[in-house]
Amino acid sequence: MTSYQLGILVILSFNIIAAYAVYLPLAAGQLNLGIAGFMAIGAYAAAYLTNEFDWSVAFAIPTGGLLAGLIALIVAVPVLRTHGIYLALATFALGQLIAAVFLNVEAVGAAAGYPVSTYVGAPWVIAAAVVIVLVVFLISRTRFALYLTAVKSDVVVADLLGLNVRGLQVAGFTIGAVIAGIGGGFYAHHFSFVEAQHFSVLLSVYTALYVLLGGTQTVWGPLVGAAFFTLLPELLRTSSQWRYAAFAALIILIMAARPQGLVTANLFHRFRRRAGDAS
């Protein structure tokens, strides 16, 4: 494998981690446009622990993820009182606020950025993405995932059935933030540098697009969406002058033809039936 191919695989791994961070709250009907902010928390926290306290990355990165989850848990109660477009705007503002804080904190370099002394190689980043995919797949087979789907389908009915709607929403939001924080920690230690400008609203929007394009009905959607957004521009690289225009046009066509995403529940079940018949 060439260094270029390995670099693409690393970028794909980061995009997959971010996509599943968005997917879990979205499974309960919450569009989190502040996911980049939670990635920033994980990145700066893990980098600070390894730089200033000589922590091992094996402890610093999970701690950064847990800190992102803790902050998400604290802000979830007021933020999740909003719904629909207002929830998207609230999380958008939250992500911007987090990035602005790090942009002005001198202890982590402020606008100049924060060098990271410890390096994490590509195999560990790829392994982290694989582990997170497996964890989310395992979660998707539990009652918790079923309850999230019920909340997304109809909050009133879910409440009448005795489900703790607010608790489920907070849990989905918090777990997504933990995943984002872990992804941010790996990002900081792989690229050996953190700057708040990277964790902008564009990162959150792109990550949400991975999930929406891939589809939110199955756990495969974020994986397919992240792969589509990462790999297709590289495949179109030969037509460098028009590749972004062609890519944008293709996205528009796909969303028009398949507004529910590339991987829908019906498509997934049909594929499983055919695989079962073939075996």
Q: What is the rounded distance in angstroms from the CA atom of residue 139 to the CA atom of residue 212? A: 20
203 or 243, higher pLDDT:
203
* Residue 152 placed within a domain: yes
* Residue 176 placed within a domain: yes
Residue in 23, 24, 187 with CA at minimum distance from that of residue 116: 187
Say if residues 130 and 12 touch (Cβ distance below 8 Å).
Answer: no
* Residue 268 placed within a domain: no
pLDDT at residue 239, as a whole number: 67
Tell me the pLDDT band of 177, cut-offs 50, 70 and 90.
very high
Q: Which whole number is the average pLDDT over 230-242?
A: 80
Hunting for tokens 């999930």 — which residue is that? Answer: 211
- Among left, alpha and beta (phi > 0; psi -120 to 50; other), residue 51 is alpha
Residues in the chain: 279
Q: Which whole number is the average pLDDT over 62-75?
A: 97
pLDDT at residue 77, as a whole number: 85
* Residue 60 placed within a domain: yes
| DSSP code for 198 | G
The CA-based angle 132-134-137, given to 5 degrees, is: 110
**Count of helix runs (H) and strand runs (E) in the chain:** 12, 2
Tell me the pLDDT band of 278, cut-offs 50, 70 and 90.
low
Q: What is the rounded distance in angstroms from the CA atom of residue 30 to the CA atom of residue 80? A: 8
Tell me the pLDDT of the chain averaged across its residues.
Answer: 92
pLDDT digits (tens, 9 = 90+) for 83-133: 888 999 999 999 999 999 999 999 999 999 999 999 999 999 999 999 999
Tell me the pLDDT band of 267, cut-offs 50, 70 and 90.
confident
Look up the domain containing 192 and give its range.
3-214
* Residue 241 placed within a domain: no
Tell me the pLDDT band of 255, cut-offs 50, 70 and 90.
confident
The CA-based angle 169-227-65, given to 5 degrees, is: 40
Say if residues 114 and 44 touch (Cβ distance below 8 Å).
Answer: yes
pLDDT at residue 279, as a whole number: 61
Q: Which whole number is the average pLDDT over 183-201?
A: 96
Say if residues 37 and 98 touch (Cβ distance below 8 Å).
Answer: yes
* Residue 21 placed within a domain: yes
pLDDT at residue 273, as a whole number: 72
pLDDT at residue 86, as a whole number: 92
What kind and span of H or E run contains 114? strand 114-115
Q: Which whole number is the average pLDDT over 42-54?
A: 97
* Residue 249 placed within a domain: no
* Residue 70 placed within a domain: yes
pLDDT at residue 276, as a whole number: 64
Asked whether residue 221 carries a pLDDT value surpassing 90, the answer given is yes
Say if residues 69 and 177 touch (Cβ distance below 8 Å).
Answer: yes
pLDDT at residue 1, as a whole number: 78
Q: Which whole number is the average pLDDT over 51-68?
A: 97
What is the domain count for the chain? Answer: 1
| DSSP code for 199 | S
